[in-house]
């Protein structure tokens, strides 16, 4: 866990390994950040029966790590503190429409303890917390229902991938869709002796208390619920009738977390580019886990280590990269994307001047299904890389990727609508750097529990570690190509086409809402951008064929700056840290495209929407101008 002694030792271990591999400038970078740890978590049913809930995950004989005694108190990071006795209400997934349904049934939620299921439909746990906070709930318990990640899905661990009875999902509830990173330093880095605001003042801090729970414990509560029968869609996988309450189950709940500042440690190393040392290709993965982190994040860390080792070996054969490769092991991702955010803020100037791309791998393998999210400029490139890398099942990753989508004639899908949930956020939304997020996923019901362990990965997730290795190969080939290419393979024609689709969608929404908005100038700007992108790509190919290095270099330099042009320094309304005008996360973590404009439209704020259309057109014009500057 971030802030622990063990985590620091692992940072040192990684640094030592990287030095031994031959990486350069290996450093541990300290960031003092607001990082609360749990002190107390107790839940006792006080009516209609009396029972103290265990709130503990039980040992499994097949997994020696599950019997460890020092795994800490399960908690939700950045929860408020609470000591309350109140009746329980069952709120299904804890989304706004769920509370609306409770209201229609006449269930008063104010001052009650809300029991909410994780997932189905998915929303970030911080959004459930925000919703509960807005509805005046006293505290929120987040439990893993067997219908979502337990026995209703299939075999439970150790026999299968799903969560056993007592597993529970830790995690942050911070409002990092408003502001990620140390809440005390919005937009600048937390460094020893630096400037800090009070954490309580931050737009990212919840005022509600929340904690995780297993279905073993939640069952005791649900068995003692009365009130209206919950709708069919709300019935979970436990053998009982789910009821809305309130009560008669009544809980005494104590949640206490400390309010400490702790040091976190990013490990960053380089292989300095010999031709263009100021142009960076960055590979990152987080190191901190909630407990053992078998998949999340250590599968990714294993792939990162192997990638770094391979590059070290290449340099030993005399090879030097053309551009600089940066390797990063982030800390405290689980808290609020903390380590990557602080480093991005620290290195903002150099990153904005020369970063080509950030390639993120959080979990590398919880299964065998290749899955990629990236900005539209990178989709063609990422598919090309997939064609070059073998898949453990035979053929290339590209082939198995396409097969897994059932498509024959269609390109496999890169998710271009980026939300949030891992370390790429600072690079995309704050710095305007092209990002990609890579994983092999599969059924994985033990996320953030003690059962996400070495043994889970070894027995269930990736026996033989073939997909860990495949990810290392993919990651290395992608980084190598970006480092060595003549001009960066960013496809802005594709990007512009996507933006035109987003504009069409938003225009439709605006029309449905009877807003008087003229999209023609924004559409025109996107069209001009698409044209400029096509022209510069053609020019680059011509220059390459003609061996005109000067033009190639100029065009490459312009491609590098296009994503940056999509930022607006004023940022989004109410969350100025988020500066990208094409992508932002919704509070649910779902992607929000054309965020400033869409939010204005969804709020039926015509006046603001007019301004946002203009701000967007200007950003698209800037992107066009950047490309045209390469065409001179």
List helix spans (H) across 405-548. Answer: 425, 454-456, 466-484, 492-512, 520-546
Stretch that binds Zn ion, among 116-124, 211-219, 296-304, 350-358 (CB under 5 A): 296-304
Q: Please identify, using beta-carbon distances, which residue of 296 and 391 lies nearer to Zn ion.
A: 296
* The Cα angle at residue 582 between residues 577 and 587, in degrees rounded to 5: 55
Is there a contact between 261 and 34 (Cβ–Cβ < 8 Å)? yes
Stretch that binds Zn ion, among 260-268, 272-280, 355-363, 449-457 (CB under 5 A): 355-363
Closest separation in Å from C-beta 422 to Zn ion: 6
Is there a contact between 171 and 337 (Cβ–Cβ < 8 Å)? no
Determine the Cα–Cα distance for residues 113 and 418; give it in Å rounded to an integer: 33
Q: Please identify, using beta-carbon distances, which residue of 2 and 53 lies nearer to Zn ion.
A: 2
- Structure tokens, 374: 């990236």
Q: Please identify, using beta-carbon distances, which residue of 366 and 368 lies nearer to Zn ion.
A: 366
Closest separation in Å from C-beta 367 to Zn ion: 15
Q: How many residues bind Zn ion (CB under 5 A)?
A: 3
Closest separation in Å from C-beta 402 to Zn ion: 27
Instruction: State the catalytic residue, choosing from 580, 599, 612, 617.
Output: 580
Q: Is 293 in the site for Zn ion (CB under 5 A)?
A: no
Q: Please identify, using beta-carbon distances, which residue of 296 and 491 lies nearer to Zn ion.
A: 296
Stretch that binds Zn ion, among 162-170, 359-367, 386-394, 569-577 (CB under 5 A): 359-367
Stretch that binds Zn ion, among 141-149, 189-197, 288-296, 584-592 (CB under 5 A): 288-296
- Structure tokens, 280: 């960076």
DSSP string, 158-176: TTSSBPPTT----EE---T
Residue closest to 89 by CA, chosen among 74, 103, 75:
103
Instruction: State the catalytic residue, choosing from 105, 520, 538, 549.
Output: 520
Q: Please identify, using beta-carbon distances, which residue of 79 and 299 lies nearer to Zn ion.
A: 299
Closest separation in Å from C-beta 286 to Zn ion: 6
Provide the pairing of β-strand 591-593 with 583-585. antiparallel
- Is 237 exposed, middle or buried (CB count within 10 Å of its CB: 0-12, 13-18, 19+)? middle
Q: Is 306 in the site for Zn ion (CB under 5 A)?
A: no
Closest separation in Å from C-beta 73 to Zn ion: 20
Instruction: State the catalytic residue, choosing from 333, 334, 493, 530.
Output: 333
Q: In a 3-state reduction of DSSP, which class is residue 93? A: coil
Question: How far separated are the first and last CA of the chain, in Å rounded?
Answer: 52
Q: Is there a catalytic annotation at residue 521?
A: no
Binding mask 473-502 for Zn ion (x = CB under 5 A): ------------------------------
Is there a contact between 199 and 217 (Cβ–Cβ < 8 Å)? no
**Binders of Zn ion in range 362-381 (CB under 5 A):** 362
Q: Which residues contact 412 (CB under 8 A, 6 or more apart)?
A: 370, 383, 386, 398, 401, 402, 404, 405
Is there a contact between 44 and 52 (Cβ–Cβ < 8 Å)? yes
Q: Is there a catalytic annotation at residue 617?
A: no
Q: Please identify, using beta-carbon distances, which residue of 324 and 360 lies nearer to Zn ion.
A: 360
Stretch that binds Zn ion, among 32-40, 61-69, 134-142, 358-366 (CB under 5 A): 358-366
Q: Is 297 in the site for Zn ion (CB under 5 A)?
A: yes
Closest separation in Å from C-beta 289 to Zn ion: 8
Strand residues in 35-72 grouped as ranges (E): 38-47, 51-52
**Peptide bond just before 453 cis, omega within 30 deg:** no
Stretch that binds Zn ion, among 264-272, 356-364, 432-440, 459-467 (CB under 5 A): 356-364
Closest separation in Å from C-beta 155 to Zn ion: 24
Task: For residue 578, give the DSSP letter.
Answer: -
Closest separation in Å from C-beta 363 to Zn ion: 6
Round the CA-based radius of gyration of the chain to a whole number and report it.
25
Closest separation in Å from C-beta 68 to Zn ion: 20
Q: Please identify, using beta-carbon distances, which residue of 371 and 618 lies nearer to Zn ion.
A: 371
**Phi and psi for 367 in degrees, rounded to 5?**
180, -155
Cβ–Cβ contacts within 10 Å for residue 412, how many? Answer: 21
H-run or E-run covering 101? helix 96-104
Stretch that binds Zn ion, among 290-298, 478-486, 519-527, 586-594 (CB under 5 A): 290-298
Q: Please identify, using beta-carbon distances, which residue of 87 and 297 lies nearer to Zn ion.
A: 297
Q: Is there a catalytic annotation at residue 67?
A: no
Q: Which residues contact 276 (CB under 8 A, 6 or more apart)?
A: 322, 323, 324, 354
Out of 279, 296, 507, 530, the only residue in the binding site for Zn ion (CB under 5 A) is: 296
Q: Please identify, using beta-carbon distances, which residue of 217 and 296 lies nearer to Zn ion.
A: 296
Is there a contact between 384 and 372 (Cβ–Cβ < 8 Å)? no
Residues marked active site are found at 333, 520, 580
Which positions lie near Zn ion, rule CB under 5 A? 296-297, 362
């Amino acid at each position: 866990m971030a802030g622990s002694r063990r985590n620091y030792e692992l940072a040192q271990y990684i640094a030592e390994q990287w030095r031994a591999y031959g990486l350069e400038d290996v450093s541990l970078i300290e960031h003092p950040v607001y990082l609360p740890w749990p002190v107390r978590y107790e839940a006792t049913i006080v009516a209609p029966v009396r029972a103290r809930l265990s709130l503990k995950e039980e040992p499994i004989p097949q997994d020696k790590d599950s019997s460890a005694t020092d795994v800490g108190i399960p908690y939700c990071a950045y929860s408020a503190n609470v000591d309350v006795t109140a009746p329980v209400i069952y709120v299904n997934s804890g989304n706004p429409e769920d509370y609306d349904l409770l209201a229609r049934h006449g269930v008063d939620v104010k001052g009650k303890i809300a029991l909410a299921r994780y997932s189905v439909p998915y929303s970030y746990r911080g959004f459930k917390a925000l919703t509960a906070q807005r509805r005046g709930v006293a505290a929120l318990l987040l439990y893993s229902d067997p219908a979502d990640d337990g026995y209703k899905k299939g075999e439970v661990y150790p026999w299968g991938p799903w969560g056993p009875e007592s597993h529970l999902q830790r995690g942050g509830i911070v409002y990092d869709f408003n502001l990620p990173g140390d809440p005390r330093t919005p937009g600048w880095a937390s460094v020893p002796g630096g400037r800090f605001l009070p954490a309580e003042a931050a737009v990212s801090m919840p005022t509600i208390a929340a904690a995780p729970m297993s279905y073993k414990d939640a069952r005791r509560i649900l068995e003692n619920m009365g009130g209206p029968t919950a709708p069919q869609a709300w019935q979970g996988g436990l053998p009982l009738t789910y009821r809305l309450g309130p009560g008669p189950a009544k809980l005494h709940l104590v949640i206490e977390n400390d309010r400490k500042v702790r040091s976190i440690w990013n490990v960053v190393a380089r292989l300095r580019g010999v031709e263009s040392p100021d142009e960076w290709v960055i590979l990152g993965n987080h190191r901190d886990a909630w407990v053992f982190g078998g998949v999340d994040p250590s599968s990714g860390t294993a792939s990162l280590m192997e990638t770094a080792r391979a590059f070290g070996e290449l340099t030993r054969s005399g090879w030097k990269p053309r551009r600089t490769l940066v390797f990063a092991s982030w800390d405290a991702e689980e808290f609020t994307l903390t380590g990557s955010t602080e480093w991005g803020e620290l290195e903002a100037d150099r990153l904005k001047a020369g970063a080509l791309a950030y390639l993120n791998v959080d979990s590398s393998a919880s299964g065998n299904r290749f899955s990629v999210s990236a900005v539209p400029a990178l989709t063609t490139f990422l598919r090309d890389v997939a064609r070059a890398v073998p898949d453990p099942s035979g053929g290339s990753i590209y082939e198995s990727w396409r097969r897994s989508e059932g498509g024959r004639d269609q390109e496999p899908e890169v998710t271009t609508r980026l939300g949030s949930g891992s370390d790429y956020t600072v690079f995309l939304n704050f710095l305007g750097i092209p990002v990609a997020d890579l994983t092999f996923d599969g059924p994985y019901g033990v996320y953030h529990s003690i059962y996400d362990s070495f043994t889970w990965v070894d027995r269930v997730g990736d026996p033989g570690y073939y997909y860990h290795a495949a990810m290392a190969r993919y990651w290395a080939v992608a980084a190598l190509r970006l480092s060595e290419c003549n001009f960066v393979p960013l496809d802005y024609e594709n990007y512009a086409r996507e933006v035109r689709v987003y504009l069409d969608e938003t225009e439709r929404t605006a029309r449905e809402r009877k807003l008087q908005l003229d999209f023609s100038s924004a559409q025109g700007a996107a069209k001009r951008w698409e044209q400029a992108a096509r022209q510069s790509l053609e020019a680059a190919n011509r220059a390459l064929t003609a061996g005109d290095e000067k033009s190639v270099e100029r065009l490459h330099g312009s491609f590098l700056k296009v994503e940056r042009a999509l930022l607006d320094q004023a940022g989004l309304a109410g969350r100025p840290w988020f500066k990208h005008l094409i992508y932002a996360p919704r509070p649910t973590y779902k992607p929000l495209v054309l965020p400033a404009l869409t939010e204005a439209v969804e709020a039926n704020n015509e006046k603001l929407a007019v301004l946002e259309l203009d701000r967007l057109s200007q950003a698209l014009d800037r992107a066009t101008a950047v490309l045209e500057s390469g065409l001179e």
